[in-house]
Amino acid sequence: MLKKLLTEIVTSIAGKQAEQIVDLLDGEKYVNEFLIAKKLNLTINQTRNILYKISDEGLVSFIRKKDKRKGWYTYFWKIEVMKSLEFLREAILKQMEQVQHQIKSRETKEFYTCETCNIEFNEETALVHNFICNECGNIVSRKDNSPAIKEYNKELDKLRKELESVDDEIKIEKEKVEKKKAKEMKKEERLAKKEKEKKKAEKAKNAPKKEKAKVKKSAKPSKKSVKKTKSKK
């Protein structure tokens, strides 16, 4: 499902040429652009053009590495799954709003049609032309809006379902990100604990000498002994 949605987003931005790019991009690892170009059977410039278009919307990101020998940069690309899903979500919401607007307009306004020319007029235009078609001169007839409303409602249902599947994917992606974060935090905690234990062990190792030095110091510090402990540390 996610692949299908991502493909939809990418092609809506960069055209049909970009259709296969989603299969080649990864959400975790960066992929070498020369590999993408080869698999898409496109030149490196064509490939970059597609990726730049998608990158303008923030839906892919890149890192670049310099070839030390040749001196040029190779780009490595990754798809930004969450940003892409949010982008699609916004697009669907916008479409839904437009359809709802159409439904409302069909429900509240009158429309007229010339059956000969198959042209539609809104109420204001029909009134201006005295309900006569300006193309053929026939009288226009009032339109039954219910078939159009039915169609728009079907479209709205479809968009609603799509929105649901996008929201499902967003939820999955969020969980994935949180899990990854938790894992990284645990790893950091583990490392910090190890470091702490290491320091503690070192301290314990040095402790007897330090104590001796302290005792000496507090008793009667001689220049020699202080110097000695310092240099050992």
Whole-number minimum distance, CB 105 to Zn ion, in Å?
A: 22
Q: Pairing relation of β-strands 141-142 and 119-122?
A: unpaired
Whole-number minimum distance, CB 120 to Zn ion, in Å?
A: 11
99 part of the interface to Zn ion, by CB under 5 A:
no
Q: Are 171 and 82 in contact (CB under 8 A)?
A: no
Distance CA 172, CA 177 (A): 9
117 part of the interface to Zn ion, by CB under 5 A:
yes
| Residues in the chain, overall count | 233
Whole-number minimum distance, CB 106 to Zn ion, in Å?
A: 21
Direct distance between the N- and C-terminal alpha carbons of the chain, in angstroms, rounded to an integer: 61
Chosen residue from 6, 25, 114, 159 binding Zn ion by CB under 5 A: 114
Nearest CA to 77 out of 65, 93, 89 is that of 65
Backbone angles phi, psi at 53, to 5 degrees: -60, -45
31 part of the interface to Zn ion, by CB under 5 A:
no
| Neighbouring C-beta atoms of residue 81, cutoff 10 Å | 22
116 part of the interface to Zn ion, by CB under 5 A:
yes
141 part of the interface to Zn ion, by CB under 5 A:
no
136 part of the interface to Zn ion, by CB under 5 A:
yes
185 part of the interface to Zn ion, by CB under 5 A:
no
Residues in contact with Zn ion, counted by CB under 5 A, come to a total of 6
123 part of the interface to Zn ion, by CB under 5 A:
no
**With respect to Zn ion, which residue has the nearer C-beta, 116 or 141?**
116
Chosen residue from 97, 124, 135, 178 binding Zn ion by CB under 5 A: 135
C-alpha distances in angstroms, 39 versus 44, 199, 226?
11, 52, 70
Residue labelled with tokens 């728009």: 152
Binding footprint of Zn ion on the chain (CB under 5 A): 114, 116-117, 133, 135-136
